[in-house]
Amino acid sequence: MQRQVLKLRPVLTGKLVHSLDILTLHVLSLLEYVEKEAEDNPFIEFDEQEGEVRREKKRDFVAEEIESWLDMGSVDIGKYSTKGYREPPDIRETLQEHLLTDISVVLNDEFQLGIAKQIIYSLDEKGWLKEEPEEISKRIGVDRKSIYEVLNKIRGLEPSGIAASNLQECLLIQLERRGEKDTLAYRILKYAYEYLLSLDKVKLADKFVVSEKDIEDALKEIHKLDPQPGRPYVGRPQYISPDAIIERTFHKDRADYIVYLPELNLPRIHLSPTYRQLLEKPDTFKPEEKDYLMGKLQKAKNLLTAIEQRKDTIRRIAEYIRDREISFLSGEGPPDLITEKDVAQNIGVNVSTVSRAIKDKWIETPRGMFSFSYFFSHGRTAEYHWVLLLIEEMIKNEDKKHPISDLSISQRLKKSGFNVARTTVVKYRKTLGIPSSSKRRVVT
């Protein structure tokens, strides 16, 4: 067992820093990451005038973020929460950055920190795990026990409820952290979750042999919990900087589309020739000093390679989107949803690489700015964007005194050939940011 751990250590430390981290980071985080690396590594130098460009960009970004927070006010995190104003987190941090900082205090073992990074970068915007622990175990070749040991450490961090696999687990973790495992609210969540989802107070009261008033009180406690603990850290998209650009050009009256990465947003660095020359003079340093500098040089080379790989991966994904979405780019309708598997096979990488490459990334197109995820199905049907457009159109043209219900929308969609259940209509309506019919009703 000890031999296996020693074998895995280099995979989960050096390789992660320069592939997983770099690929997952969006532009602004990448700039900050490289700046920090340059402070600690004498072999990393920025191109001339790069430093001033970065400082100006950072100042503009912070000003934009502060203004956005003032405009946003309190954060509405959904129907399960009745919280009032919440002290905003450091808006310069992503959820991943916040958790990586905190977990480094809890864990001091490089092997466990490598596992922690894999788990933390598998969290979605809600703060939930996108992969099951067993899947992470298989993907990185580490036993499940080690995965769960680190996962439990992460679940002990703030915000409470982080790194859950689903809503039920997210809420249970929060009650456990509050020492409320013996409460009726906890028992309802753990042993009668289906009844909770249907809000069947009678069945809940019968099951736990309590009054409906007790059930109502327990439900109020559950509704105070946060179903999306990672949501307050989704601050950066208020300031959008594209990771790739699809631009329309014209050649002999024919529209064409080119893909490129905006160089202004990418860190321009090179290896320091001065320190490399010093290393080539063996009498300049003691053996231990030379070993130290050789390690720094290798790390700098790895960083340069990782940045180039990141650029190449994002560019190829953007080119695949360009080739598949000509109709959308031409303004002829919504996009055809693609899958991460299709992209991975086309550009010759793993599905997990595509998933990490599109995370928190934006692409500028002739139709506007979109997240990369906008073009991916993620389990949605091919008609997803069409259905969104139809729902939006129905509500736009409704009688404001008698707004159309979700059930009526579902029935109309079925008549149009789209088999969409009422519950799905509710989800899509919320995706569009449209309130329920009762809240849309105009009373004169």
What's the mean pLDDT in 332-361? 86
pTM greater than the 0.85 cutoff = no
The dihedral sign for the CA sequence 43, 44, 46, 51: negative
Q: What Å distances lie between residue 89 and 20, 227, 299, CA to CA?
A: 25, 17, 32
More confident call, 126 vs 349: 349
More confident call, 375 vs 59: 375
Q: What is 114-132 written as a DSSP string? A: HHHHHHHTTB-TTS-BSS-
The dihedral sign for the CA sequence 117, 120, 124, 130: positive
**How many angstroms separate the CA atoms of 344 and 249, rounded?**
28
Per residue in 416-435, pLDDT (tens digit) is 777 888 888 888 888 777 88
* 297 neighbors 275 (Cβ within 8 angstroms): yes
Q: At what angle do helices 384-396 and 422-431 cross, to 10 degrees?
A: 80
* 205 neighbors 212 (Cβ within 8 angstroms): yes
Q: Letter for the amino acid at 255?
A: A
What is the residue whose two structure tokens read 């602004």? 28
Give the per-residue pLDDT at 240.
Answer: 63
